[in-house]
Structure 1
């Protein structure tokens, strides 16, 4: 008999289960692989599970198995309730032990599963067809036992349920009944109003008698509810389609991910840095400012507001509310009273200046105020690595502080410190030096001037006394923009994505070293302020409450291992960040129910580029002692480095071109082009040579500013080129071949001009120095590079521009004093050719240093004039 119904619900099962006395079959289980562990033959034992306990009298006469294709006569050899297993040999010892274990579990849990399970042993295993097991009242009866539901007294099953199959076990689908004509649908309907109109029009067709349009009506309310849901779904579909492409995406996170697929790192800006000097009283000698750690921020500074110089927690919060920007120190610092103002020593000379480009100076080392036997600077508190700030504090002309030039302030990091004495003047002095990258960009006057009597408000020097024009400031601390906060994140959910969002923004982006905020003590002061936004990471750390494990941020999880506790902070346009974790394949996923706390900083972009003298407050939780000790807090130089997040529009333009930029070097030209991407390289030339056992690529570099290609620079450039290097090739950085020149010209001076003045102007025009007005001397190192010839016409044109020059004679011929050739070599007809040619790796050089004529020399033979 075929099936009467095809039902998609199990309502009758629930009714039988809820009935007080009616029983029925819940499911049937065929023991296949599990039978071997019980010492039974596979596919010959059936466990029939019912809803309620079975009668103890059920046996093989009450079970019937019908069906099959090839094997139709499947007999029942044994049937018993699971908790009433017969002895050996009808059952095995392992089988009885299993039934006993299940019975003990029922007693412990208060269940009756063994009483509800009928064990059926068949005479053989069937074929792959479907069989039907039925519970009957007796051997010859066709009706179910008493209190058994007839439809649920039988169950279809197959003996091969555990056999492998490549098909789904779902029953075949029946063809659907032919449907009527589809209603007309307007696919241009996309918003709430059009959906509402569409639904009302459809209802007017199917229920013309319903004409209610009152918003309070239940039917109208349901229509509007469905229109709202359809409108939201339509918006979601449009948003997904919009965010799927770089050209149409509106969310910053979507644009960032699209750009990453093109290997374009979209940056979220960067915070600003500044140098802050702290002047302390003599009683505060040796006081320490804390540096940042994984759990605590560095010393906190704030821009000027109406508040005391040293702030407590309440005053700091009030300052932030009033609009103050907060900065935090990047390193620990020890404050010394005598380092707040250090005077230069000029060895008894007057009207002295530190010239532009200076990299050394002499400082006076006076005795300490409270202990004359102790000096202000000692080998313990004044060492290489410290930063000094050189500044003009008074006008050299008027002697007033307000007339001092604010642009004459410069920070240097000391590379050499030598304690010595001036025996003639019986003074202790300190010789200091700094690197060429921190070379003084202006001339700094060092003499003393008298303080005007009407000067008021100046505490460092009383009126009427002599005071230095320029001083050096110690106690210099590098700070960066951003304030540290700590928030508790939502508990990790068991299912779904865990994407918590930070409560505050904008999230600070800082440059890091080894994943932590740090400052390289060997880097120059100029390098400490360079913070490329492309290399910045968000200033945030996560910590698990119980285990204390720390999670660190990364720009991407594509390089993270399955056990890497790393995450990505994706910043949106409002500056707030949402955190994205791994999936236990690329990065670890937080365990469920783990409580995480986020320590992060807020403050980013150009808002941190505050001007000089803007930072004037220091936060201290100590209170009164610090307020008396801190005399002054200031930033003589403006903060710099703050960059706004890269705009979505800019990424849309730049990202498609990013993958076109070559990120590997194969040929000589490739290495030259890649080397020129380094900010210190003006031009480079590659040369591939066989060095005996392998190929070596020699990269010859013309360094900007004429700086030498020394070992330190070679190491930095080699590390820069390493990621572009072709495997199997060695890499070596070489200095160029400098070609010294020997040039002499005869110059006729116009009447009314002093020949000496004209010659001085000519020497300046053909020098290697930076000239006033941003001009360069003709032989400045950056004016010539590899293979670039020196043209005679350019020399003549430059000389003729000098006031007082009437004409110039340059002919290089025997018997004439003029020269236009390479130094130390015979002429090669350079004057006739009009140029001094250079080879591929050669660079012209003319320093005109009398002490080193081998670096080129220049002479002028002056005629006429006064």
Structure 2
């Protein structure tokens, strides 16, 4: 205990005691420096608590609070009244001076405060001693530290040298000596600590990081998604002898080399899939797979032509819908969403398989299937169509040859029974339901300290590792963008399909069936339907409904437009939420059409075979037994930033050794697994370019339950593509810093709106301006459609919804067509005497008017050539006209706007600008159709002289 100095003023103290007041006699500080013993003289007031005292001073100046006050007797005068108080403080003080101040009445002003120090009893620091005193030897110098020692050998050497100075009598250096063992153990620990320090400093920066996990996280900070590869995909065609309905979980396909198994045929036992190094493919479709024998090989119908050609860019064809053999009635069961493969079966010139082009094979996803009849030949056919993205990349010549047995053989056939498969085999295949066990979190949950004691404590993320082969990385299928685009199209078609169905009922004139009556009741409601159908018969009643079709269904159509806009903005409509509403308004078929599992919404087949490796996620599922007897499943995500406390999501990261680490949520961003539970992992193995096998490589099918004896042949007509190896770390270091600047994610300036609008499919170029409306800014975007002067229907709204996601807050986006400026152009042409003037005129019109040229290219005034602000040069017109055979001389006599006053110029101006350049504003596009029936779209005058 240390005591503060005591004041000595006897006369003043006697007066204080006589007045019945009290004062501070002295202050003692206990050894813990948190307890003060205060001795008073005189009579203390009765009510003293922690609010009656205040401690002031200190270096920090934030004040020390008094927690409690206890009254005790003076140890030197135990019989006297208790004038000693013990004060408990909230924390110890520093070496600076403090002052205890007593608050309230009952104390004299000269003795109600006193200074003290928490280090009153500590000795004063001694003055530094001289380097050498008489009778004492100088202290040894401080040991030299070699800061270049960073490994085990250098640490061992430094320790032995230090011990030679401090313990010169110890000279043992044998490896089995206990002292040498301790030295080597300390050197090993120092080597590990040194490596850890170097690793932390190295992995802290993208340019120096070596670990794959560190590079991935650095790249993620700059919005560059580093990928770990992607699995390959292909379409497999299965030929069967009878109809089969199979579950996708029970199927697997493999690519066996010739002689890879002694078994012949198209099916193999399930246990052989894991017995060799050959790649294995699993179906991606989650619906039941139906295989029909009539879809093995489908003939194309040429409408009586002996030779027919499907040119490049074709999106429609006609299939023969006839029984495969006499006496059987098995028509084709194709539907929108099915995938067929067009294949060149024979060479169209020689009629042999050896000369056919194996590259003339393409998969397309059907969007329309219509049953019609060729009345000329009394033949049932199917008109099928597919998306523009799946348009044929090569011409297909359809010719019929006579086969070896005398039967007809077509050069081009369509293959059905297609199954979309992806490289990778599950760890449970052929073994029943035995997923791999992963060590779960410990019995108690590790927690981190929060700065606020009242705030909830956050759980540290739990990380589990999967060791073994490389885990399959699978891109999402179907892609959400394809599903939303398909849902939008289906919603906008519901009204027209309903009208077509009602018109079909009206044309037939037959009595309404129960299904038709229920459909009309759903469509129009019982009130309108009952008043219309009663007493008139179906035909007049349906005619009355059709005449007011738009009026009756206007509210429903507006609701469809609202849902379509929501889909186009990127929101996937769930059938559980919207299906009931559509079923009540448009029927059950409408609810099924927007189901995300509907294959008609899964996008074109060409996009399916080109997965984006940066969207690929590990094909892993973690199952944990729940408390209610059920099973909770954790699915992978790219990150947990958007995951809620109850979302069972996880993040998979692959290290340099191919080991996958699964990071779970912490209870705030993603749910954490229950402590003490066993985690069961189900995953697929097989990734990268190893799955990119060629065509005809996949030749076997296996089932987890039974052998498929009805399967005649299994083949992949097109090669497997999309398999990608993990992205190298060195490539990420180069690409990640520049990645954010390559993709525009926000629209702030007018140029940003132009760039984002020009990315939209079908837009050749866009122009934008920012206009102040008086309250906010409005981005006016003008669109130039690709290959046409008129803006296609729906393109403006699609672009507006796309820009809405990138617009700056406070900007309104307005999209519309470009400002078309019709031109008035006149040319005086001198024709060579050896050429016919009429032929030269036609050649000039073809070279100048919009449209394709015979030798390739587009006309001078084609919409695909002219765009925003493109000036029209007289010299270029002269050059184009001079390039036409038979033109000896040409001159531009008129080059101006067709309506100069309407354009705002104020006067017609000269016929040809003095500079020979007709300028346009940034939002204007020149137009000259040269159509005499529509002169308002531009006028072209040709004055030909000479010739024959």
TM-score (norm 1): 0.69
Q: 1:501 is matched with which residue?
A: 465
Contact 1:796/1:808 (CA < 8 Å) preserved in 2? no
What are the superposed Cα offsets for residues 82-116 of structure 1, whole Å, 9 maximum, x if unpaired? Answer: xxxxxxxxxxxxxxxxxxxxxxxxxxxxxxxxxxx
Superposition deviation, residue 420 in structure 1? 1.1
Partner SS state of residue 199, structure 2: helix
Superposition deviation, residue 735 in structure 1? 3.6
What are the superposed Cα offsets for residues 288-328 of structure 1, whole Å, 9 maximum, x if unpaired? Answer: 3434xxxxx5843223432452232212112xx32325343
Partner SS state of residue 310, structure 1: coil
Of 272-281 and 675-684, more deviation after overlay is shown by 675-684
Partner SS state of residue 811, structure 1: strand
Partner SS state of residue 317, structure 1: coil
Q: 2:729 is matched with which residue?
A: 648
Contact 2:781/2:813 (CA < 8 Å) preserved in 1? yes
Match of 2:871 among 764, 768, 789: 789
Match of 1:362 among 318, 322, 327: 318
Q: 1:477 is matched with which residue?
A: 419
Describe how 1:461-860 pairs up with structure 2 within 5 A.
462=404, 464-485=406-427, 486-493=435-442, 494=444, 498-503=462-467, 504-512=469-477, 513=479, 521-522=600-601, 523-546=603-626, 547-624=630-707, 626=708, 628-660=709-741, 663-678=745-760, 681-688=763-770, 696-704=778-786, 710=792, 713-714=795-796, 716-737=798-819, 763=846, 768-769=851-852, 782-794=864-876, 797=879, 805=885, 807=887, 809-811=889-891, 813=893, 829=911, 834=916, 837-844=919-926
Contact 2:439/2:678 (CA < 8 Å) preserved in 1? yes
Specify whether residues 230 and 640 from structure 1 end up closer, same or farther in structure 2 by C-alpha distance, changes over 3 A only. same
Specify whether residues 548 and 629 from structure 1 end up closer, same or farther in structure 2 by C-alpha distance, changes over 3 A only. same
CA distance in 2, matches of 1:166, 1:678: 69
Contact 1:743/1:820 (CA < 8 Å) preserved in 2? yes
Describe how 1:133-152 pairs up with structure 2 within 5 A.
none
Specify whether residues 659 and 365 from structure 1 end up closer, same or farther in structure 2 by C-alpha distance, changes over 3 A only. closer
Contact 1:755/1:862 (CA < 8 Å) preserved in 2? no
Of 391-400 and 563-572, more deviation after overlay is shown by 563-572
Specify whether residues 820 and 696 from structure 1 end up closer, same or farther in structure 2 by C-alpha distance, changes over 3 A only. closer
Specify whether residues 798 and 222 from structure 1 end up closer, same or farther in structure 2 by C-alpha distance, changes over 3 A only. farther
Contact 1:768/1:847 (CA < 8 Å) preserved in 2? no
Q: 1:326 is matched with which residue?
A: 281
Match of 1:347 among 286, 289, 303: 303
Specify whether residues 395 and 578 from structure 1 end up closer, same or farther in structure 2 by C-alpha distance, changes over 3 A only. same
Match of 1:414 among 357, 366, 371: 366
Partner SS state of residue 349, structure 2: coil
Partner SS state of residue 389, structure 1: strand
Contact 1:70/1:127 (CA < 8 Å) preserved in 2? no
CA distance in 2, matches of 1:131, 1:557: 65
Superposition deviation, residue 831 in structure 1? 8.8
Partner SS state of residue 352, structure 1: strand
What are the superposed Cα offsets for residues 671-711 of structure 1, whole Å, 9 maximum, x if unpaired? Answer: 11233344654422224457798654333333556597545
What are the superposed Cα offsets for residues 755-783 of structure 1, whole Å, 9 maximum, x if unpaired? Answer: 989978995998745999x9777666544
Q: 1:127 is matched with which residue?
A: 70
Specify whether residues 791 and 205 from structure 1 end up closer, same or farther in structure 2 by C-alpha distance, changes over 3 A only. same
CA distance in 2, matches of 1:674, 1:340: 45
Match of 2:190 among 207, 227, 230: 230
CA distance in 1, matches of 2:161, 2:369: 90
Contact 1:821/1:827 (CA < 8 Å) preserved in 2? no
CA distance in 2, matches of 1:354, 1:131: 114
Matched, 1:277 2:277: no
Match of 1:218 among 178, 187, 190: 178
Contact 1:67/1:130 (CA < 8 Å) preserved in 2? no
CA distance in 1, matches of 2:873, 2:599: 45
Partner SS state of residue 359, structure 2: coil
Superposition deviation, residue 863 in structure 1? 10
Specify whether residues 693 and 309 from structure 1 end up closer, same or farther in structure 2 by C-alpha distance, changes over 3 A only. farther
Q: 2:548 is matched with which residue?
A: none
CA distance in 2, matches of 1:437, 1:421: 28
CA distance in 1, matches of 2:853, 2:342: 21
Matched, 1:436 2:385: no
What are the superposed Cα offsets for residues 40-69 of structure 1, whole Å, 9 maximum, x if unpaired? Answer: xxxxxxxxxxxxxxxxxxxxxxxxxx9964
Aligned-CA RMSD value: 4.7
Where in structure 2 are there 5+ consecutive unaligned residues?
3-34, 42-67, 76-84, 95-117, 129-138, 428-434, 447-460, 481-571, 575-595, 903-907
Where in structure 1 are there 5+ consecutive unaligned residues?
3-65, 73-124, 133-157, 292-296, 452-461
Of 842-851 and 576-585, more deviation after overlay is shown by 842-851
What are the superposed Cα offsets for residues 453-480 of structure 1, whole Å, 9 maximum, x if unpaired? Answer: xxxxxxxxx4554321112222223223
Contact 2:819/2:925 (CA < 8 Å) preserved in 1? yes
Contact 2:440/2:464 (CA < 8 Å) preserved in 1? no
CA distance in 1, matches of 2:933, 2:365: 30
Describe how 1:24-39 pairs up with structure 2 within 5 A.
none
Match of 1:199 among 159, 165, 172: 159
Superposition deviation, residue 737 in structure 1? 4.6
Specify whether residues 402 and 857 from structure 1 end up closer, same or farther in structure 2 by C-alpha distance, changes over 3 A only. farther
Superposition deviation, residue 750 in structure 1? 11
What are the superposed Cα offsets for residues 120-139 of structure 1, whole Å, 9 maximum, x if unpaired? Answer: xxxxx96289999xxxxxxx
Superposition deviation, residue 215 in structure 1? 2.5
CA distance in 2, matches of 1:371, 1:426: 17
Partner SS state of residue 186, structure 2: helix
CA distance in 2, matches of 1:358, 1:539: 36
Matched, 1:261 2:228: no
Contact 2:475/2:612 (CA < 8 Å) preserved in 1? no
Contact 1:277/1:473 (CA < 8 Å) preserved in 2? yes
Specify whether residues 258 and 734 from structure 1 end up closer, same or farther in structure 2 by C-alpha distance, changes over 3 A only. same
Q: With CA pairs under 8 Å and 6+ residues apart, which has the higher RCO, 1 or 2?
A: 2
What are the superposed Cα offsets for residues 423-451 of structure 1, whole Å, 9 maximum, x if unpaired? Answer: 11111111222232322232221222344
Specify whether residues 535 and 324 from structure 1 end up closer, same or farther in structure 2 by C-alpha distance, changes over 3 A only. closer
Q: 1:137 is matched with which residue?
A: none
